[in-house]
Amino acid sequence: MSEHEQPVLTEVRNGIGHLILNRPAGLNALSLPMIRMLSEQLRAWEQDTQVLAVVLRANGEKAFCAGGDIRMLYESHLAGDTQHFVFFEEEYRLDQYIHAYSKPILALMDGFVLGGGMGLVQGATFRVISERARMGMPETGIGFYPDVGGSYFLPRLPGKLGIYLAMTGNQVRAADALYCGLADWCLKPEQLSSLIHCLNNMNWTYNPREDLRSLLATLAKERLPGAELEGLREAIDEHFAHDSLAAIVASLQAEKRLKFADWASATLGTLRSRSPLAVAVTLELMQRGRQLSLAECFEQEMALNRLWFERGDLIEGVRALLIDKDKAPRWQLTSLDQVQPELVQSFFATPRQP
């Protein structure tokens, strides 16, 4: 396979290992071979004393990584094999490994960072986005739930922002990504090459983590003006503090304040367009995840996976949105008010797998 065809490119320059996602035509969606290449290289560099830090980035301006290879998961399930479970097991293992990596990882993101892409970067030491980044966990829109550690990092965002983003699947722009804590630093798109140039020429001290932090402080911003979530925070924290889907819906329906009325109506419309079962299970997953460790969150997501392919809405969502493209998914439940708490709890009754 030529370098052009390799889905992940690797190189070491000036003490930095560069991992470069290289499927720009496919929005750098993660495949199982990519996950294995990333894992193998990270483990090799962790043992290599010549590598002081890792930069995780991608080719193409449209997306850092738009998620996982959903079509493969769909085909694997229909074929009756176990490839989709192998994919999730190895993806989650990689994501959890990144959280605990012993050397600093700088994730450099441009364009879409969605789903599986979020799993790759949320454990990085430095999460650096460009001003044109779009971040999100859109899973409820395809009948799934936020995974890849989403049950850990989303409920730990300020207030109820993570619950709101998880249930709606809404994407956020750069200012909001910084505001809610999904990213740490932001660069103008034209500064991305400047950062790489600086990395190629920087002088290392005994503390690579602080060297990188100092470099970012000279180039990047930690906040941007215009964060929409900041203006909505009061309403989000109020409405999404409720413990049940029915209570959240009722709270949004009762919103009468002029400055929040349109947002509440739009949010209800968004929730109603998603899989009702996925929205309800996502709320429960976030509430449980807030009390669990990172490892326990990944275990819970994997246990839920084993049930979801048979009893959830993912296969129908992928069919409607990616396979047949009729954009008319026939969800198991037709409305949010059909969701019964007993049904939601049944997805969490199975003990987590070791």
d(CA 110, CA 130): 5
User: Edge-to-edge strand order for the sheet containing 126-130?
Assistant: 8-13, 16-21, 53-58, 105-109, 126-130, 185-187
CA nearest to 126, candidates 218, 222, 46: 222
One-letter identity of residue 298: F
162 noted as active-site residue: no
Contact 53, 198 (CB under 8 A): no
Q: 93: buried, middle or exposed (CB in 10 Å: 19+, 13-18, 0-12)? A: middle
**Rounded Cα distance, 26 and 60, in Å:** 10
Reduce the DSSP state of residue 112 to 3 states and report it: strand
Choice among 95, 139, 184, 211 that is catalytic: 139
From 17, 67, 115, 116, active-site residue = 116
Q: Which of 110, 147, 184, 211 is catalytic?
A: 147
- Contact 149/99 with Cβ under 8 angstroms? yes
The count of other CB atoms within 10 Å of the CB of residue 255 is 19
Residue 310 annotated among the catalytic residues of the structure? no
Active site residue 75: no
* Candidates 68, 141, 149, 162; catalytic one: 68
Residue 44 and residue 50 in contact, taking contact as beta carbons nearer than 8 Å: no
The answer to whether 116 is a known catalytic residue is yes
Residues whose CB falls within 8 Å of the CB of residue 324, separated by 6 or more in sequence, listed in order: none
Q: Which of 272, 37, 231 is nearest to 140 (CA)?
A: 272
φ, ψ of residue 332 to 5 degrees: the values are -60, -40
Residues with catalytic roles: 68, 116, 139, 147
